[in-house]
Amino acid sequence: MQIILVPGLWLDASSWDDVVPALQAAGHDTYPVTLPGLESVDADRTGIGLETHIDAVAALVDSLDGQVVLVGHSGGGPVVHGATDRRPDRVARVVYVDSGPSGEGFNVNDGLAHDDVEMPLPPWNEFGEEELRDFTPEGLEAFAARAIPSPSRAAIDPLHLHDERRYDVPVTVITSTFPRDDMLKMIADEHPYTGDLARITDVSIVELPTGHWPQFTKPEELAQAILDAL
């Protein structure tokens, strides 16, 4: 299977480096993505929005032959959901890593500090303990050193969806920062974070207890959870 791996805010393709080897060893082709504006700290992020990121992933799907699996972490969740909406006939499964298929009008996070162009990584004290679970001080230092400001509009633009065939694409949600029962309650309450989950015909929810970035804190376990989803 061809697996496209989309990172969340502040991260590039290298954030999947500790996950990719197990996927490749299992015989899959992997395509970790660096989204537009995340090429480097000095990249031009002017005019880049959520639609730009969705278009980039859809273009990668178009460049490949056959079916693909989309994996989206955190802020990459709306990106892969939007790409699925644009190419529902090409996506065999979507795996959301501590994210979900949010509904029409959802934005990743418009509450983080940003200017008109970019949104830098906030100080660690602005994150909850559950998000930072299993990170060592050295791990947090390494994350901060690799972090790249995200284009502001990628986080604050509303998600727009068009094709209801997306509901027929199977979904796996790997939840790290809260239990499966909490996810089920969010679905029942029609929380915007999980806005489309109740409408998707084939949904699996898998717990991987750790912080919000399992690709760093539990990469082997995350790789196995993705393989199990396939």
Q: Percentage of the chain with pLDDT > 70? A: 100
Which of 56-70, 158-172, 175-189 has the lowest average pLDDT?
A: 175-189
Q: What are the tens digits of pLDDT across the range 76-129?
A: 999 999 999 999 999 999 999 999 999 999 999 888 999 999 999 999 999 999
CB 159 within 8 A of CB 102: yes
State the average pLDDT over residues 47-69: 98
The domains of the chain, with CATH numbers, are: 2-229 (3.40.50.1820)
What would the two tokens of residue 74 be? Answer: 């955190």
**pLDDT-derived band of residue 201, with 50, 70 and 90 as boundaries?**
very high
Q: For residue 206, give the 3-state DSSP assignment.
A: strand
pLDDT, tens digit, 9 for 90 and up, residues 142-165: 999 999 999 999 999 999 999 999
* Gap between the Cα atoms of 63 and 66, Å rounded: 10
Q: Determine the number of helices (DSSP H) and then strands (DSSP E) in the chain.
A: 9, 8
Pseudo-torsion of CA 95, 90, 186, 73, nearest 10°?
A: 40
Q: What are phi and psi of 141, to 5 degrees?
A: -65, -40
Partners of 73 in beta bridges: 97
pLDDT band at 25 (very low <50, low <70, confident <90, very high): very high
User: What is the model's pLDDT at position 185?
Assistant: 87
User: Residues 6 or more apart from 178 whose CB is under 8 A from it?
Assistant: 130
Kindly state the average pLDDT of the residues 187-216: 91
Please report, for residues 57, 78, 147, 177, the alpha-carbon distance to residue 62 in angstroms, rounded to integers and kept in the order given. 9, 19, 29, 33
Helix axes 76-86, 50-63, angle to 10 degrees: 60
Range scoring the smallest mean pLDDT among 40-54, 106-120, 177-191:
177-191
Q: Does pTM surpass 0.75?
A: yes
Using the Cα atoms of residue 167, residue 220, residue 36 and residue 2 in order, give the sign of their dihedral: negative
- The average confidence (pLDDT) of the chain is 96
Checking if the pLDDT of 33 tops 90, the result is: yes
Report pLDDT for 10: 98
Residue 183 has pLDDT above 90, yes or no: no
Give every CB contact of residue 207 below 8 A, 6+ residues apart in sequence. Answer: 174, 175, 176, 179, 180
Between CA 53 and CA 199 the distance in angstroms is: 24
